[in-house]
Amino acid sequence: MKKIDSTILLLFYPLLLIDSINGFFLLHNFPLPISQLYKIFLIVLLSFRILSFSPKLFLSLFFMLVLVFLETFLVLSYIGNVYDGPMSMIITFLKFFLFILSFIYFKMTLERSLISIDDLKKVCFVNLAVILVNLTIGLMGFGFPVYSDTDTGVSVGVKGFFFAGNELSAVYTLLVAAFLAFYTDKIKKKPYFYAVALSLFVFSALLATKSAIGGIAVIVIATIVFQKKYIDKTSFNLKNIFIVGVSITSITILSGFIFVRSAAFERMKFYYDQISNIYGFLMSGRDQFLTQKLFIFTSENSLFKFLFGVGKPFPVEMDAFDTFFKFGFLGLLMVYFIYFYIYRKVFAYYFKKEGTFNLSVINLALMLVFFQSYISGHVLYSGMAGPFYGMILAISFYIFKKEFPRVKNAET
């Protein structure tokens, strides 16, 4: 079994490289399902390993899959195959399923000391490097833009050979947080740390998404505060408040200067002028699209669709509502019961007086991504972000249990 664990860990190292290779072929109009096949193989291996750990848990997971297949069959029987939505229900759920499998597997292997935190640090570092290389390639004019207008030919943002921009924002936020959580104390000189932090923000600006830019800005600023509190272990007297304030202000001004000179700022400014209110700007018009879809959905007055969904192929780009439209109220209950259950220790951490540096940074990123899933799509259902989302949640669980052993830990 140790060979299987080594194989699974090895498969996680090139995950984002496989995604970018997949995108390279898509860019050249030669679609190959390399990434999909790779992740299906990973799902099979993770499932087999979880079966060896806990047959009961495996049966519960298998039962969930059976329910989704039955729901797909019911939807197909009710509305017919008039569009590809019903069949996409299985593919969509498998992305969520990969997130669950990743979380359970890494939680169990960390608890049993079959893999170490150091192993996962390296996985996060390698995949973050793949993102940064892709963004650099995009800056040189290769790969996909994040946004493009076919009428004007104007494109904004870069993402290299990654195809999914929203998913990239989520995984970039998680991997940056993991990097800062585990490597900040290794950067002994403050100017070097500030240079790294500023560089990570600049790369987020290249993505030209509000979630990436805002998320990285919050994480970088919080890391400075947590570093002073937990690593330097200095009390916040007037002198230290001044130092932290100057540090945060300096990074904010530099970051802001770079950002306002970028195409991402011009796009956001144009979009804000069109919408003319901050809420609509933050929602990127999703609120209006949601209102239309809710009106259409409720006007159908169908109990079946309310309970089981319709497998809608055109998402609102808000995960909670997309879950409801695709899987119905029963699917929404199942997915979010699991989601909240997995997040229980992340929530519990914020009710504790004490804390640690790495857990504070990681849990902040997890909370940001958690809230991001309610105002944007492809967070819960992301083949790109899902494996790392589950892994970093497992790291959070492991550190929580290690640092606070007196807290009762329910078995997953």
d(Cα 31, Cα 113) in Å, to the nearest integer? 40
Q: Which residue has the tokens 């940064």?
A: 132
Q: Which pair of structure tokens corresponds to residue 46?
A: 């993770």
Q: Which two tokens stand for residue 316?
A: 């609102």
- Tens digits of per-residue pLDDT, 127-164? 999 999 999 998 887 877 766 654 444 456 678 888 87
Q: Is the pLDDT of residue 282 over 70?
A: no
Contact 401, 107 (CB under 8 A): no
CB 399 within 8 A of CB 349: no
Cα distance between residue 4 and residue 131, in whole Å: 27
Helix (H) or strand (E) holding 41: helix 34-53
Instruction: Tell me if residue 120 falls in helix, strand or coil.
Output: helix
Residues 6+ apart with CB under 8 A from 76: 86, 87
At residue 399 the predicted structure's pLDDT band, cuts being 50, 70 and 90, is very high
Task: Taking residues 372-395, report their average pLDDT.
Answer: 89
Calpha distance 140→162 (Å, rounded): 15
Q: pTM for the full model?
A: 0.85
pLDDT in tens, 206-229: 886 778 888 898 998 899 889 888
Residues 6+ apart with CB under 8 A from 396: 345, 346, 349, 359, 362, 363, 366
Sequence-separated contacts (24+) of 159-162 with Cβ below 8 Å: 159/134, 159/135, 159/207, 160/20, 160/23, 160/131, 160/133, 160/134, 160/135, 160/136, 161/20, 161/21, 161/23, 161/24, 161/27, 161/134, 161/137, 162/16, 162/19, 162/20, 162/23, 162/131, 162/134, 162/384
pLDDT digits (tens, 9 = 90+) for 41-77: 999 999 999 999 999 999 999 999 999 888 888 887 7
Domain boundaries defined on the chain: 2-403
For the chain, give the mean pLDDT.
82
Q: What is the pLDDT of residue 372?
A: 86
Q: What are phi and psi of 155, to 5 degrees?
A: -125, 145
